[in-house]
Amino acid sequence: MYIKEKHSKRDIVFEMDIEFSDITEAKQSIIDEFSLFENWVDRYEYIIELGQQLNGLPDNLHTEQNRVKGCQSQVWFEAKLKEGKIFFQADSDALILRGLIALLLRVYSGRTPHEILDTPPDFFGKIELGSHLSGNRANGLHAMINHIQSYAKSWVCNENSENQN
């Protein structure tokens, strides 16, 4: 994911144009960033800014096949396996969800299927996001996480069936 972010209220620069080599480091970076904000208004603004800067998907990938079921807003994910790692692109018509997508991609894109399946999204709990999302947004977040994990599971299943042949 390639995003450069400056949160003007705090004059804090968050540069996320580097890829985190370690999935735990990526999760910790999110926890650390959110700990800098004193209240949820600032955290929501930051999530929205992340959403505004997300590259998203080209319009031709906004298809029913790529749509995430279970989200009230429109959300689309595309995944490609390259050199044993899954790379995600995603988009939404809702800025808050786009921001949540940016966080998910930071942690899960560019990881092996096993890394994805072995890494719970516990960083959302650590930043207390669950208690500040509406029910519909929480359902959408859960649906996106399930979607990411289903991609990983399908590639693990394919890998296992290839190894058995």
> Is 71 one of the annotated active-site residues of the chain?
yes
Closest CA relative to residue 74, chosen from 95, 53, 58: 95
What's the confidence (pLDDT) of residue 161?
A: 64
Question: pTM to 2 decimals?
Answer: 0.85
SS3 77: strand
Q: What is the pLDDT of residue 70?
A: 85
CATH number at residue 141: 3.90.1010.10
* Cα–Cα distance for residue pair 69/36, rounded to 1 Å: 33
Tell me, what's the pLDDT at 164?
61
**For 93-117, how does the pLDDT look when each residue is reduced to its tens digit (9 = 90+)?**
999 999 999 999 999 999 999 999 9
pLDDT over 50 (residue 3): no
Number of domains comprising the chain = 1
Alpha-carbon torsion, ordered 130, 126, 53, 57, to 10 deg: -60
d(CA 110, CA 126): 23
1 and 106 Cβ atoms separated by less than 8 Å: yes
pLDDT digits (tens, 9 = 90+) for 8-20: 433 333 333 446 7
Do 140 and 70 contact (CB within 8 A), yes or no? yes
Residue 28: pLDDT over 90: yes
Domain that holds residue 127: 4-164
Question: Out of 1, 47, 50, 71, which one is annotated catalytic?
Answer: 71
End-to-end CA distance of the chain: 35
